[in-house]
Amino acid sequence: MNKVRIGIVGLGRLGFIHAKNISSIIKNAELSAACSLNKEELSRAKKELNVGYCFSDFKEMINDSDLNAIVIVSPSANHCEQAIYALQKGLHVFCEKPLGITLQECLAVEEAVAANANQVFMLGFMRRYDPSYMYAKQKIDEGVLGKPILFRSYSVDPESAIDGALKYVEHSAGQFLDMAIHDIDLARWMLKAEPKSIFAIGGCYAHKEFAEHGDGDNVSALLQFDNESMAFFLAGRTATHGYNVETEIIGTKATLRIGSVPRKNMVEILDSHGVRQECSQSFQERFEVAFVNEMQEFVDCIIENKKPEIKAEDGTKSTNIAYLATKSFKENKLIKI
């Protein structure tokens, strides 16, 4: 295959970015079809990205377009059903995180992936394709860290995006599944270990509306992994300075920090306020390169007939940990895994 014909489902905040990357940056790929429930998004995709075929029904897109692969960027509750349908129709599948919102539906995807072993299945844990996280992982694999002691990772959305977060909360499946899932995946990837206990707490510190959905505007979890290392996650929606993603891994020989100040770039501004650096303001901005890298990897895997590092099983495990964190938060109890 020289060129992978891709159909995308979901053209919202992230879907349009993936669609644009596929149609303009990703090598050996073309955006053949798009599906959304929103007519304006579809006409924008037709006009700006020159998408050939537009659909409002996912199954129609799969059955009526001549596709090799599907990219799923619909709401999290739709991922598993759509992934299974596409796999059974013989398509390669890229699915956004989280894989699913229940353990059962994730396991059903694993089964469909196993039953269609010649097709590529990849999950959108894009931080694994961010140059800084990749470099840190390389250093850990080289043994720079020594024995890992603590993995600490924060994912906090900007307060300026709170209106969107409040509209989205009903469908987000909660902060652990929606936000901390990235930190959970990073911890498993970098520590090469699985958690054995978890305790989560949190609350509504600025926006009580989250409580109506059994969520907090900021939540955190403390975990112990089976290699005895500890992990601490914070997921929130109230960073006044911007989009705050930072990670620290403390080991017996070194400490690695990624993005401990969520700076926009290397520029320092010296003015009447003093010396300052601007912060990145959104996931789109912070992970712009990672979104391109991961999609290129998906297409390369299809063309070169190889399998991506991120497997469906990683999706199941991270969903399960996020689910147990949510349970611990809601029931205020320590959970042994």
Stated as kind and residue range, the H or E segment containing 34 is strand 29-35
Q: Which two tokens stand for residue 228?
A: 């005895």
Q: Which of residues 277-306 bind ligand NAD (CB under 6 A)?
A: 283
Q: How far is the CB of 36 from ligand NAD (least distance, A)?
A: 4
Report CA dihedral (240, 221, 103, 80) to the nearest 10 degrees. Answer: 20
**Comparison of 57 and 304: residue with beta carbon closer to ligand NAD:** 57
Q: How far is the CB of 150 from ligand NAD (least distance, A)?
A: 24
Q: How many Cα atoms occupy the beta-carbon half-sphere of 154 within 13 Å?
A: 20
Q: Which of residues 171-230 bind ligand NAD (CB under 6 A)?
A: 178
3-state secondary structure labels for all residues of 102-164: CHHHHHHHHHHHHHCCCCCEEEECHHHHCHHHHHHHHHHHCCCCCCEEEEEEEEEEEHHHHHH
Pick one of 28, 78, 132, 282: the residue that binds ligand NAD (CB under 6 A). Answer: 78
Pick one of 24, 38, 240, 255: the residue that binds ligand NAD (CB under 6 A). Answer: 38
- Region of 69-77, 83-91, 101-109, 249-257 interacting with ligand NAD (CB under 6 A): 69-77
Is 314 in a helix, a strand, or coil? helix
* φ, ψ at 28 (rounded to 5°): 60, 30
The CA distances from residue 229 to 108, 224, 272, in Å, are: 31, 6, 45
Pick one of 5, 12, 28, 230: the residue that binds ligand NAD (CB under 6 A). Answer: 12
Cα separation, 105 vs 110, whole angstroms: 9
Q: How far is the CB of 233 from ligand NAD (least distance, A)?
A: 15
Q: Which of residues 86-105 bind ligand NAD (CB under 6 A)?
A: 96-97
Q: How far is the CB of 236 from ligand NAD (least distance, A)?
A: 15
Is 274 in a helix, a strand, or coil? strand
- Region of 71-79, 194-202, 214-222, 304-312 interacting with ligand NAD (CB under 6 A): 71-79
Pick one of 41, 130, 183, 217: the residue that binds ligand NAD (CB under 6 A). Answer: 41
Cα separation, 297 vs 303, whole angstroms: 10
Write out the E strands in 229-268.
230-239, 244-251, 255-258
Give residue for tokens 């469906």. Answer: 312
Burial 162-189 (b: 16+ CB within 10 A, else e): beebbeebeebbbbbbbbbbbbbbbbbb
Stated as kind and residue range, the H or E segment containing 283 is helix 283-286
Q: How far is the CB of 69 from ligand NAD (least distance, A)?
A: 17
Pick one of 5, 20, 28, 37: the residue that binds ligand NAD (CB under 6 A). Answer: 37
Which residue has its beta carbon closest to ligand NAD? 12
Q: How far is the CB of 103 from ligand NAD (least distance, A)?
A: 17
Q: How far is the CB of 128 from ligand NAD (least distance, A)?
A: 11
Pick one of 6, 14, 19, 122: the residue that binds ligand NAD (CB under 6 A). Answer: 14
35 forms part of the interface with ligand NAD (CB under 6 A)? yes
322 forms part of the interface with ligand NAD (CB under 6 A)? no
- Region of 32-40, 104-112, 244-252, 309-317 interacting with ligand NAD (CB under 6 A): 32-40
- Region of 23-31, 34-42, 108-116, 133-141 interacting with ligand NAD (CB under 6 A): 34-42
Cα separation, 199 vs 204, whole angstroms: 18
Which residues here bind ligand NAD, judged by CB under 6 A?
Answer: 9-15, 35-38, 41, 58, 73-76, 78, 96-97, 124, 126, 178, 283
